[in-house]
Structure formats: C-alpha cells, structure tokens
A = this chain, B = another copy of it.
C-alpha cells in the first residue's frame, strides 16, 4: 500500500505555538515528537517508507524535511506546493505520480496533524479498507461520535457491502447543535476524519468524472515537477507548473468527489481518533495531574484546576486558575478561557489585522541552512543567534547598510570575507564590514552556533545581495 500524508496545513488555533510559517503538524503539541513525526511513525507497520508521499507547501518544506531526516526520506516523494489549493488537487497530483509508477496501486490518504490513540486498530482498519479499495471503492474511515460535535462533517451509514463495511448514504456538512445531537443518538452517523483509501486509478477516474477542470491539468502539472535546487532535495514545480497549479480552484476532495461519487464506502473505525483541533483538545489526549491540569516546562502551579499551562524558556507561576489556558513562547503569550479555545483562530485574525507579525512568524525563523533567532534589538543593532546545520552554508552575500560581528559559541565555521577564508572555532570572532562579500558555512559534523550583532541605521532582512546560493535563492 502507498501512503499520502497531506502536511500543508497552516492552522492558527494553536497560536502562539503554531504560526502560519510553523503550523501545528510541525509542532510538539502532544508528547515529545511533532504531529507529523507521529503520523509517519504510526503508518510504518503497514506502509514502507519508500511508498510514502508527502504534500506540503514551499514555506514549510525545509522544516518538514528536517523533521523526517531520521527516516532517510526519499527526496522524490515530497512535493512542495506553490500555494494552498486544498486537498482535491494535492491528492490528484500525487495519485498521478503513484499511478505512473504502479498502475494498480492502492493509496491511503492521511492528514498530518491528528492523534490516533489506538494504532493497532488503526492498522487493522486500514488493512480492511485496502481489500475494499481493491474492489474499486473510495473507502472512508468513519469515527463513532462521542459528543454532539458541530465542528466536523458527518458520514451517514448506508446499506452493508460486506462484514463491517457500508455504503455511504450521504456526506453531511458541519451540523448545528440540535442536528449534531440527533446524529449522536441516531447511531449511524460517523465523523469524517479525512482518512481515505482507494486505488489511484479509482480516484483519478472519479476526479475525471466530477472535477474535470482539475483532472484535465494533472498530466501537465506532473510534467512540470522538478528537483528543487535546495539540499536536502525535494520536488517542486517549475514556473509554468506554478502558474497552472495556482490557476486551479481550491476544492476539498470531499466537495469535489466524495459527495458525488457512487463508489464511496464507509468503515466504522474505533481507533481513538482525535483531530486535536484546538488547545482544549489536549484534555482528551494529554496526561493530567490530580487536579486535571496539563503542565509542561518550567511552571509553578498553586491551586489550579483543569488548566493547561505550557512554558518555554521562561518561568510561569500560576495561582488559583480554573479552566484557563496559558501558552508561552519567546515573543508572544496567550492566556485564554478554555471554553474559548475555538476562538483563538479569530484572535489570530485580529492580530493579523492589527499588523502583529507575531501572528505569522515566530522568533526562530527556519532557513534552508538552519535557523536564526532574534534575541534583542535597539535603534542601531539587532542581535541574533544563528544555527547552521552540519555541511550547510548561507549564500555568498553582502549588505549595504549593516556590518556584522560574529562570535562562534559552538561548532566550527568557515567564513569567506572578500578573497580571504577564515577557519573559526569556539570563542573566535570576526567582523564583516558593510558592502563586503561574505559567506558563512559549517564544515563540521556538529551544529554551528554563532552570536551575530548587526550594526547599522537600517536593519532589514531585505538588505541582502546574493551572489551565490546553493538553495537557488539568487
């Protein structure tokens, strides 16, 4: 079986931990691994790593690769979409890649940011779905509802196809509360969890039938796929492909195909699924203390109940809280009534409207070569911690308006300054005057950490002239 993980989401309900540029699937929302790492790990008993495909977007591709590097991930299985066009196009394009390799392939599609508490049942259910998919069905997993949830779509169970598998009577959009209560009591409604199993050929046929505008461009877009210039490698679209991709409608696979097709089947799946849709979802999936609190990091808790407190690099002391969420990050803090978790999304919209960069970007910014973190700033200086991954290097560049002072605090650096090359180790410093061509690289086997002091009267990321770049950013 082939696996497809759709990891391009940019949810904002987990702000400030997740940001537009570092969304939920790339965060450790539950436990010690990221949601994406957990999603891959969960599939490996059934799907070998070389049969796994990932769709993400160009902003997140480097961090996605980094998080999966321990899997020796195969570079031609990760495609970076130029923009978000929802699931129908992403699924169609990857189905095209798979079918070109294996005409009879069965593929399973998974969101990258859900929790499955019962992975054994999950695998068993997928095996059952595979059998049905071989017969030409579009199989969906239906989660038995445990509450009158108004945030999910529902599947209504139809006639039995075979033992434990049913036709789908209809797809139901997110219901209002009274409807959701009816569905819960009725017993034959299931949550649509976004996990699908089908033959690549079947889904392409159905896209052909119900979403001709998307289907008709898949071949052309697939022809525009190229290896990105960046290292580690991934797939991207050339300019023609990006234009084509962007011109297509943004449709979910549910809306484009599943709601119309007669081939849809349902397997009820009791797999401990949770979409972890907002901070209060942690109540269902995280460990609690004796008073119902979920605590992580450097936190002193006194007389709190049913609260969620996540510290990062600073101490948090909480006293007498009830049903309250406190989530810290280096540059932004959320304090929120737990019952308002769903509205964090709107809060982030307000932050965006008010021009708060903290809505989009965290203080640590990922780059192809590593990352930087802004530590302090003043009218004429900006202070950064720069981390360069082993073997990587920044572009050959110069700045018009700033000089830079670098001190190596761990690892070793190779610095080109004009025509000279310097080999710096721990405790060495170097100054790069403005208008001086320079390049910083990590020739070593361990992480290089540098403290950078930028000095100048105009300090702007855009003040950069690139002369050479191994990630194609010239």
Contacts and interface: CB of A to CB of B under 8 A. Distances in A.
A410 B335 contact: no
Best-buried of A324, A339, A403 by chain B (most CB within 10 Å): A324
A300 interface: yes
Interface of A: 15-16, 300, 302-303, 309, 314-322, 324, 326, 328, 330-337, 339-340, 343-344, 346-347, 350-351, 354, 356, 358, 375-376, 378-381, 383, 385, 403, 405, 407, 409-410, 426-427, 429, 431, 449, 451, 453, 455
B380 A340 contact: no
Contact of A381 (B331, B354, B409): B409
Contact of A455 (B15, B302, B427, B455): B427
Contacts of A376: 375, 385, 451
Given A317-B335, A320-B337, A427-B455, 17 more contacts: A302-B350, A309-B335, A314-B333, A315-B356, A317-B333, A317-B347, A320-B336, A321-B324, A328-B333, A333-B333, A335-B335, A375-B383, A378-B410, A379-B410, A405-B407, A407-B453, A429-B431
B343 A302 contact: yes
30 contacts: A15-B317, A302-B343, A302-B350, A309-B335, A314-B332, A314-B333, A315-B331, A315-B332, A315-B351, A317-B332, A317-B336, A317-B347, A317-B351, A319-B336, A319-B337, A321-B324, A321-B336, A322-B337, A324-B324, A326-B335, A328-B333, A335-B335, A375-B375, A375-B376, A378-B449, A381-B409, A381-B451, A383-B451, A403-B427, A427-B455
Contacts of A449: 378
Contacts of A339: 320
Contact of A320 (B343, B351, B431): B343
Contacts of A409: 378, 380-381, 453, 455
A15 B302 CA distance: 15
Contacts of A385: 376
